[in-house]
Amino acid sequence: NIEEKLLLKNRGGLCYEINSLLYYFLCDCGFKVYRIAGTLYDPKTRKWNPDDGHALIVLQHRYENYIIDAGFASYLPLHPVPFHGDSVTS
């Protein structure tokens, strides 16, 4: 199970495991969040990965939407990514 995998065996989890845990935590903290599925683009191969192959979170705060993603391996954003379209660095 996920508890054994993450806490006892010190292993990482898949995006749908880690982001689901974060989703429920954020819900319990009173945040307005949604779980969504996304399709990833691989710039090295110039191809799209399978449809809806990644799970992530959208958080609404002060009338603005942010991507929250704790399950994206080495490309993990270190802070919420706003939807405003500007380039962000983390």
Q: What is the pLDDT of residues 40-61, one digit of tens each?
A: 888 899 999 888 889 999 999 9
Q: Is residue 78 part of a domain?
A: no
Which of 27, 29, 52, 54 is labelled catalytic? 54
- CA-nearest of 86, 87, 89 to 78 is 89
Evaluate whether residue 48 is within a structural domain.
Answer: yes
Which entry of 15, 29, 51, 79 is annotated as an active-site residue?
Answer: 15
Q: Using one digit for the tens of pLDDT, what is the confidence trace for 63-83?
A: 999 999 998 877 778 888 998
Active site residue 29: no
Q: Whole-model pTM? A: 0.82
Domain that holds residue 23: 2-71
Which residues, 6+ apart, have CB-to-CB distance to 50 below 8 Å?
39
Of 69, 79, 84, 86, which residue is the catalytic one? 69
In the chain, DSSP assigns E strands to 32-38, 41-42, 47-48, 54-61, 64-68, 81-82
Query: What's the domain count of the chain?
Result: 1
Asked, for residue 79, whether it belongs to a domain, the answer is no
**Domain contains 52:** yes
If DSSP codes are grouped into helix, strand and coil, which group holds residue 11?
Answer: coil
Is 79 annotated as catalytic? no
Whether residue 77 is contained in a domain is answered as: no
| Any domain includes 84 | no
